[in-house]
Amino acid sequence: MKLAIYFLSSILVINDCNAALIGYGSSDAVLPSKNQELFYMGFELGMQKYVDKKTYSELVESIQISNGSQLGAQSAARTLVKNGSKLLVGFPTSHEALLASKATANNDVVFIFAGAGHSELGKLGKRIYTTGESMETSIKASLDFIETKFKGKKGALIGNPFAVFSRDQDTHFKEFLKEPHYSKVSIEFHSLNKNLQLDPTVVQKLKNNKFDYVILTPYADESGKILEQFEKSSIDLPIISNSSWTTGDVDYIRRFLTNKKQPSFCPSFLLSDNKDRNSFLKLFKNKFGKDATSESSYGYDLGVIVGQIISKVGKNPKIEDLINSIQSNKCFKNTSSGKICFPKSGGHSIRKLNFYKFTKQGFKLAD
């Protein structure tokens, strides 16, 4: 029997006087615990640029549920709210963010998610924010990239109908392809089965050169069986994935990607040459003795944002103070990916996406 594992940033006696203002939550429903820990390491590093260790331990309670439950994020969010947190952060996947926001919809709390991109998060009001890009931004960027890189060619989009993040992307691709601007983009849609594999007839079409490139909307760790099918059938086409591939565990599919001759691309906010990013990379290496990852970068950005908010509102703000602080501070600077802005209505961050290419050394800015 699997047990729920709780990692607490500090041991707190929970009551109205000393409840942790900030609740950091996550689960292993989508990303393994080791990847979630990388997000949290970045968050701690970013926030401690603005508060000392003692203050941090007083302000933050962290709950990571590692029992494989699909509802782990829901449980973590409810526990943090019950314990008195007013600002809930973390929950870096769309799956976690949606569960957490809906599980605490009737509570007086503010959310800032780390990188979650589901379009529904942009419709839940001014109490909910995410450092992730909107799905509209991501899909338009991908279509613009396709128009430039694969002009006049035909693509196969492969989605996972059993995952909310993948379904959301598929829906937006279909909607935007109806627009006159993308009328010359030719994409055929296909779905994985419950075993996360393609139907043999689709594999055969790919093998027979019916397509020039492939779009994968599942997470990296959901794409192993597809890539294995490709490898066994000697299918080697350019791949366009999604921003989750820079935050998910790409090591699950690294052996397939490194065997490919054709490139694999994905959109992301990662910057390779930026003074703030270089500062982050140095800080992370000095503190933890290892190189930073994309997960820790997203976590760091969240920590910097929360640290700046706390510097402004103090240790015991009202909900209105938190919301006003986010909305009055139009953009947050000094993150690892440059300037991050939020709309007044809540929802997704506003910042530019770049396209990256997978290499043995990681994702590098595409030419």
Asked whether residue 16 is assigned to any structural domain, the reply reads: no
CATH number for the domain that contains residue 43: 3.40.50.2300
Q: Report the DSSP beta bridge partners of residue 156.
A: 188, 214
Compute the mean pLDDT over every residue in the chain, rounded to the nearest whole number.
Answer: 90
Is residue 202 pLDDT above 60, yes or no?
Answer: yes
Is residue 366 pLDDT above 90, yes or no?
Answer: no
Asked whether residue 166 is assigned to any structural domain, the reply reads: yes
Strands (E), 179-284: 186-191, 213-216, 239-240, 264-268
**CB contact at 8 A, 206 and 237:** yes
For residues 149 and 311, give the distance between their C-alpha atoms in angstroms, rounded to a whole number: 44
pLDDT at 302: 97
Together in a domain, 96 and 58: yes
Together in a domain, 226 and 101: no
Asked whether residue 78 is assigned to any structural domain, the reply reads: yes
Q: 104-118 pLDDT, tens per residue?
A: 988 999 999 998 888
Asked whether residue 203 is assigned to any structural domain, the reply reads: yes
Together in a domain, 175 and 254: yes
Is residue 3 pLDDT above 90, yes or no?
Answer: no
Question: In which region does residue 273 sit, left (phi positive, over 0), alpha (psi from -120 to 50) or beta (all else)?
Answer: beta
**CB contact at 8 A, 26 and 91:** yes
In one-letter notation, the amino acid at residue 72 is G
Last residue of a domain, one of 268, 303, 320: 268
pLDDT at 271: 60
More confident residue, 273 or 29: 29
Asked whether residue 146 is assigned to any structural domain, the reply reads: yes
In this structure, the dihedral spanned by the alpha carbons of residues 179, 182, 184 and 186, taken in order and rounded to 10 degrees, is -100
Cβ neighbours around 109 below 10 Å, total: 21
Strand 354-359 vs strand 264-268: parallel, antiparallel, or unpaired?
antiparallel
**CB contact at 8 A, 142 and 240:** yes
Asked whether residue 9 is assigned to any structural domain, the reply reads: no
**CB contact at 8 A, 96 and 165:** no
Q: 109-155 pLDDT, tens per residue?
A: 999 999 888 889 999 999 999 998 888 889 999 999 999 999 999 99
CA 309 → CA 50, 106, 305, 306, 358, distances in Å? 10, 23, 6, 5, 35
pLDDT at 6: 44
CA 104 → CA 14, 76, 87, distances in Å? 18, 10, 12
Number of domains in the chain: 2
Quote the percentage of the chain above a pLDDT of 70: 93
In one-letter notation, the amino acid at residue 285 is K
For residues 296 and 60, give the distance between their C-alpha atoms in angstroms, rounded to a whole number: 18
Together in a domain, 82 and 37: yes
Asked whether residue 359 is assigned to any structural domain, the reply reads: no
Name the H helices within 208-288: 224-232, 254-259, 275-288
Whose CA is closest to 268, among 112, 137, 111?
A: 137
For residues 101 and 92, give the distance between their C-alpha atoms in angstroms, rounded to a whole number: 12
Query: pTM value?
Result: 0.81
Together in a domain, 209 and 235: yes
**CB contact at 8 A, 47 and 304:** yes
Together in a domain, 204 and 103: no
Q: Which of 7-21, 86-100, 143-157, 224-238 has the lowest mean pLDDT?
A: 7-21
Last residue of a domain, one of 268, 286, 314: 268
Asked whether residue 339 is assigned to any structural domain, the reply reads: yes
Last residue of a domain, one of 238, 268, 298: 268
Together in a domain, 114 and 217: no
Q: 296-354 pLDDT, tens per residue?
A: 999 999 999 999 999 999 999 999 999 999 988 879 999 988 889 999 889 999 877 88
Q: For residue 77, what are the domain limits?
A: 22-133+274-352
Q: If pLDDT is split at 50, 70 and 90, which confidence band does 16 have?
A: very low
Together in a domain, 139 and 256: yes
Together in a domain, 71 and 220: no
CA 85 → CA 131, 210, 231, 315, 360, distances in Å? 20, 54, 48, 12, 41
Together in a domain, 141 and 261: yes
Together in a domain, 259 and 302: no
Quote the percentage of the chain above a pLDDT of 90: 71
The contacts of residue 226 (CB under 8 Å, 6+ apart) are 158, 192, 196, 197, 198, 216, 218
Together in a domain, 101 and 89: yes
Instruction: Spell 303-325 as b/e; 16+ CB within 10 A means b.
Output: bbbbbbbbebbeeebeeebbbeb
pLDDT at 361: 80
Mean pLDDT of 48-54: 96
